[in-house]
Amino acid sequence: MHVPPIPHLTVTDPELAALIEGEAQRQHDVLRMIASENYVSPAVLEATGSVLTNKYSEGYPGKRYYEGQRFIDQIEQLAIDRAKALFGTEHANVQPYSGSPANLAVYLAFAKPGDPVMGMALPMGGHLTHGWSVSATGAWFRPVRYEVRREDGRVDMDQVRDLARRERPKIIFCGGTAIPRTIDFPAFAEVAREVGAVLVADIAHIAGLIAGGAHPSPVGYADVITTTTHKTLRGPRGAMILSTAEHAKAVDKAVFPGLQGGPHNHTTAGIAVALREASEESFSRYAHQIVANARALAAALTEHGFDLVTGGTDNHLILVDLTNKGIGGKPVARALDRAGIETNYNTVPYDPRKPFDPSGLRLGTPALTTRGLTEAQMPQVAAWISAAVDAAVKDDEPTLDRIAAGVRELLAAYPMPGWEPTR
Ligand code: DSN
């Protein structure tokens, strides 16, 4: 049963309702270990499913281009105020549709086409929008890419400084999508200050950890902070740009009218709900538990002979290099999916294989921590992953199916927010 329920959809469009039901059951039955995913609360679901989707609101609170904004203005202001209070920033824009548009808005605000911009290379753990070649950000600007050290998989700040001094980027991005270690915001800030670049911390993956005090904050170091709202922050799919007061105008102008039209008010309301939830003491416990679970899982995987990039994790994410297991990330991710463990294949730094068939597997603990799993279950999870990798090597489907049954049985004891099985 859906919480909140979907009785109208069930009657008017049973075909679609059945598909949603199938996806809900799937999310209930599998260990969701894609590092960027989570389960939102029923309250967030209610806000995002509300009549706010009916309304156009180009502009910002108090300065709109359409009438009828009495309540929308208050809703967006609430989201802005909660974002500022939670992260301790002077300014917040809650309108970006998602992480990529948020980052694109930053380019629009602080660079001109052809300008040098700097970010971590995608195969090293960066994001497409930090200047990777297939992204508009790599095609329209002149990307300067820093890497990680071959020896330990960590960012080489000497390389970052040398590159920045030589290329004089207008923007420096720190953060990414496959970084298992703490981001050194003060070190990036020092480099950015020296070369006169705008420092942008893309905290999409770790926003919830920062809000909960389980990762250092970039506030006071980064000029601008971008984040999605649906990863560790556990809100609806959306994004925010946080900044100092100095950059507020440029950020707002870039989001609207620079890049977007009307904000998605139902998403804004969902973000406001999630920000309130993230300010509660229980969320701080959640954030710390995510990290504790990732650390326990990393230790257990190491015992099973897995080679972890950087040797472990400081956050919610583990990047496994499967080279020593004699199999690529893609067949392993497929096998794990059959075994009821949802992950994604990923490049590892200096990967000799192609991005569509790389050597790595990315794992995360945000969603399973929302289900209530703790360090106590991580040895079992690691044992299942290890057995599934062995089964993938041997094409042993019955073993994968046995693991899936074990996963289902375990998860039956851990309720899923937003849906419960009919008994
Ligand atoms: N799709 C996100 C992730 O999985 O990390 C990045 O955009």
Domain boundaries, the chain: 47-278, 290-411
What is the distance between the alpha carbons of residues 117 and 133, in angstroms, rounded to a whole number?
Answer: 12
Nearest to 382 by CA among 298, 315, 322: 298
Task: Give the Å distances, CA to CA, from 133 to 10, 130, 143, 227, 330.
Answer: 44, 9, 8, 22, 23
Report the atom number in ligand 1 closest to the C-alpha of 178: 5
Contact 56, 262 (CB under 8 A): yes
Distance 64 CA to ligand 1 centre (A): 32
φ/ψ of residue 242, rounded to 5: -110, 145
Amino acid 423: pLDDT: 72
Active site residue 231: yes
3-state secondary structure of 163: helix
Nearest one of 390, 413, 414 to 402, comparing CA atoms: 390
Residues pairing with 354 in the sheet:
none
> Is 309 in contact with 322 (CB distance < 8 Å)?
no
Q: How confident is the model over 225-276, as pLDDT tens digits?
A: 999 999 999 999 999 999 999 999 999 999 999 999 999 999 999 999 999 9
Examine residue 7 and say whether the peptide bond preceding it is cis (omega within 30 degrees of 0): no
| Pairing outcome for strands 224-228 and 239-243 | antiparallel
Instruction: List the structure tokens of 49.
Output: 């499913």
Structure tokens at 287: 């954030």
Atom 5, ligand 1: which residue's CA is nearest?
A: 177
What is the SS3 assignment for 382? Answer: helix
Catalytic residue, from 84, 237, 276, 408: name it: 237
202 as an active site residue: the answer is yes
Q: How far is CA 378 from the centre of its chain?
A: 21
For ligand 1, atom 2, the nearest C-alpha belongs to 36
Find the residues whose C-beta lies inside 6 A of ligand 1.
36, 99, 127, 177
204 CA to middle of ligand 1, Å? 8
58 labelled catalytic: yes
- CA nearest ligand 1 atom 1, residue: 36
Say what the alpha-carbon torsion angle 256, 195, 154, 325 is, to the nearest 10 degrees: 60
Question: Closest by alpha carbon to 414, among 10, 8, 27, 12?
Answer: 27
Tokens 């330990």 appear where?
A: 152
pLDDT values of the chain reduced to their tens digit, one per residue, 423 residues: 999 999 999 999 999 999 999 999 999 999 999 999 999 999 999 999 999 999 999 999 999 999 999 999 999 999 999 999 999 999 999 999 999 999 999 999 999 999 999 999 999 999 999 999 999 999 999 999 999 999 999 999 999 999 999 999 999 999 999 999 999 999 999 999 999 999 999 999 999 999 999 999 999 999 999 999 999 999 999 999 999 999 999 999 999 999 999 999 999 999 999 999 999 999 999 999 999 999 999 999 999 999 999 999 999 999 999 999 999 999 999 999 999 999 999 999 999 999 999 999 999 999 999 999 999 999 999 999 999 999 999 999 999 999 999 999 999 999 999 999 987
Give the mutation target among 100, 203, 205, 317 for probing the ligand 1 site: most ligand atoms within 8 A of CB: 205
Burial label, 245 (beta-carbon count in 10 A; 0-12, 13-18, 19+)? exposed
For residue 201, what is the enclosing H or E element?
strand 198-202
In angstroms, the Cα distances linking 110 to 223, 236, 258, 289, 423 are: 11, 27, 12, 37, 55
**pLDDT tens-digit readout, 124-170:** 999 999 999 999 999 999 999 999 999 999 999 999 999 999 999 99
Please check whether the domain covering 290-411 is classified as CATH 2.30.42.10: no
Nearest CA to ligand 1 atom 4: 36
Catalytic residue among 56, 97, 190, 337: 56
Give the integer Cα–Cα distance in Å for 39 and 221.
31
Distance 140 CA to ligand 1 centre (A): 21
Closest CA to 234 of 43, 1, 101: 43
Between the CA of 177 and the centroid of ligand 1 the distance, in Å, is 6
Of the candidates 264, 276, 118, the residue with the CA atom closest to the CA atom of residue 202? 118
Question: What predicted TM-score, i.e. pTM, was given to this entire model?
Answer: 0.98
The pair of three-digit structure tokens given for residue 333, joined into one six-digit string: 């991710």
Right CATH for 47-278 from 1.10.1060.10, 3.40.640.10, 3.40.50.300, 2.60.120.260: 3.40.640.10
Q: Which of 29, 76, 147, 202 is catalytic?
A: 202
pLDDT at position 422: 87
Q: How far is the CA of 118 from the centre of ligand 1 (A)?
A: 19
The DSSP output letter for 131 is: T
38, 103, 135, 177: residue to mutate for ligand 1 pocket, most atoms within 8 A of CB: 177
Q: Whose CA is nearest to atom 3 of ligand 1?
A: 36
